[in-house]
Amino acid sequence: MAPLLALLTLLLLPPSLSLLRLPAAFHGPRCPHRPHLERHPDPGRAPGIALFAETESPPSSPQALAFDLPAYLSLHLPSVTSALETSLADQTVPETSTITSAMLYSLLAGGKRIRPMLCLLTADAFLRPHAAVLPLAVAVEMVHTMSLIHDDLPAMDDDDYRRGKPTCHKVYGEDVAILAGDALLSTAFAVLAKRTPRGEIGGEEGGREGRLLDAVVRLGEAVSATGLAGGQVMDLQCEGRPSAEVSVDDLKWIHTHKTAKLLNICVAASAVLSGASPPQVRSLELFADKVGLAFQVADDILDVTASSDALGKTAGKDEATDKATYVRKLGLDGAREEAERLVREAKGHLDELGFGGRVDGLKAIADFIIDRKN
Q: Which residues contact 83 (CB under 8 A, 6 or more apart)?
A: 23, 25, 26, 28, 134, 135, 137, 138
Query: 26 falls in which pLDDT band (50, 70, 90)?
Result: low
**Does residue 35 surpass a pLDDT of 70?**
no
Q: Domain for residue 89, yes or no? A: yes
**Does residue 205 surpass a pLDDT of 60?**
yes
pTM of the model: 0.81
Instruction: Say what the pLDDT of residue 288 is.
Output: 97
Q: Domain for residue 319, yes or no? A: yes
CATH value at residue 320: 1.10.600.10
Q: Domain for residue 122, yes or no? A: yes
Q: Domain range for residue 281?
A: 70-371
Query: 53 falls in which pLDDT band (50, 70, 90)?
Result: very low
Instruction: Say what the pLDDT of residue 106 is.
Output: 96
Q: Domain for residue 121, yes or no? A: yes
Instruction: Say what the pLDDT of residue 310 is.
Output: 63
Q: Domain for residue 60, yes or no? A: no
Instruction: Say what the pLDDT of residue 346 is.
Output: 98
Averaged pLDDT for residues 230-254: 89
Q: Domain for residue 123, yes or no? A: yes
Q: Domain for residue 136, yes or no? A: yes
Q: Domain for residue 216, yes or no? A: yes
59-84 pLDDT, tens per residue?
333 344 479 999 999 999 999 999 99
306-335 pLDDT, tens per residue?
766 666 656 666 666 677 899 999 999 999
In the chain, how many domains are there? 1
**Does residue 50 surpass a pLDDT of 80?**
no
Lowest mean per-residue pLDDT among 49-58, 157-166, 335-344? 49-58
Query: 48 falls in which pLDDT band (50, 70, 90)?
Result: very low
